Amino acid sequence: MLDDISDKKVKFLEEKSLEIRELTIETLLKAGSGHTAGPLGLADIFSVMYFHTLNHFPSNPDWEDRDRLILSNGHTVPVRYVAMALSGYFPLEELKTLRKLNSRLQGHPHRTALPGLETTSGPLGEGIGQGIGIALGAKLDNKDYHVYVITGDGEHNEGNIWESIMMGAKYKLDNLTVIIDRNNIQIDGFTESVMPLDDLKKKYESFGWFAEDIDGNNIRELAQSFAKVRTIHEKPSVLIAHTIPGKGVDFMQNDFLWHGKPPNEEEAKIALKELRTLKNKIESEY
């Protein structure tokens, strides 16, 4: 059954998404380095995950029965740090330490540095394999938690991703969901120019997965899709989430040059103004 999410909850999550985007811009500006486009595009997914879908307790990040969320495309981690801070894993003030020496908030997730991170990521292509290991372990231990893996589209150039996809189907891991950030950019350009990925839905289905294309920037559709995959049996699921890189900031949207750079002071000022205008619009529509 689809998640019957209320208009009030949709509004809350949309506002939370914009708050995540604002804090991501501020955090990247303070750091002076990091990735911008991917985190802004993923803000809606992380809003729904941390404030609606995940079964988790920020006050007890190692709770045995928590859902697991793995970030395979680790360079987008600023958006995860912001969502974690907003949900209570650590103080918001700590966001100012992003990428600083000895900070718990490194440029890629460091599992042993920060409670609430499930894996360390940096080298691309590893997250689905890690998720399969955790999901298989849950099956062997008769645990009911769900494993979510967020991965990039450009990351699917890695051969080990496809080995993992085969293994997920072999073990019928219906407690595993992969979410692809299908934003069509990577550091060297547009994905279909660098290495065409074509129809990812058909590819995953041919490997024995349940697959759906979804709007990765639509709160209601995300909530409903995250609920739907938990009703799928005998096979893992993949949601190809079509997102807009740089979402919410006009001059960043769909520009691959923003894949791997932070805003300067003037750019951040313009970006924050745009995002706050969007937040006011949401408030006036409900």
Contact assessment for residue 275 and residue 248, using Cβ atoms and an 8 Å cutoff: yes
Question: Could you give the CA distance from residue 235 to residue 228 in angstroms, rounded to a whole number?
Answer: 13
Give me the pLDDT at residue 1, please: 45
**pLDDT value at position 19?**
97
Per CATH, the number for 7-285 is 3.40.50.970
> How far is Cα of residue 71 from the mean position of the Cα atoms in its chain?
7
Q: Tell me if 151 sits within 8 A of 197, measured CB to CB.
A: no
Strands 210-215 and 189-190: unpaired
* pLDDT, mean of each 10-residue run, the chain (286 residues): 82 96 98 95 98 97 97 96 98 97 95 95 93 98 98 95 97 98 90 93 98 98 97 98 97 92 96 92 75
Q: What is the pTM of this model?
A: 0.95
Query: To which residue do tokens 């745009």 refer?
Result: 274
The structural domains of the chain, with segments of one domain joined by +, span 7-285
List beta partners, residue 214.
Answer: 241
Q: What pLDDT is recorded for position 214? A: 98
State whether residue 211 is helix, strand or coil: strand
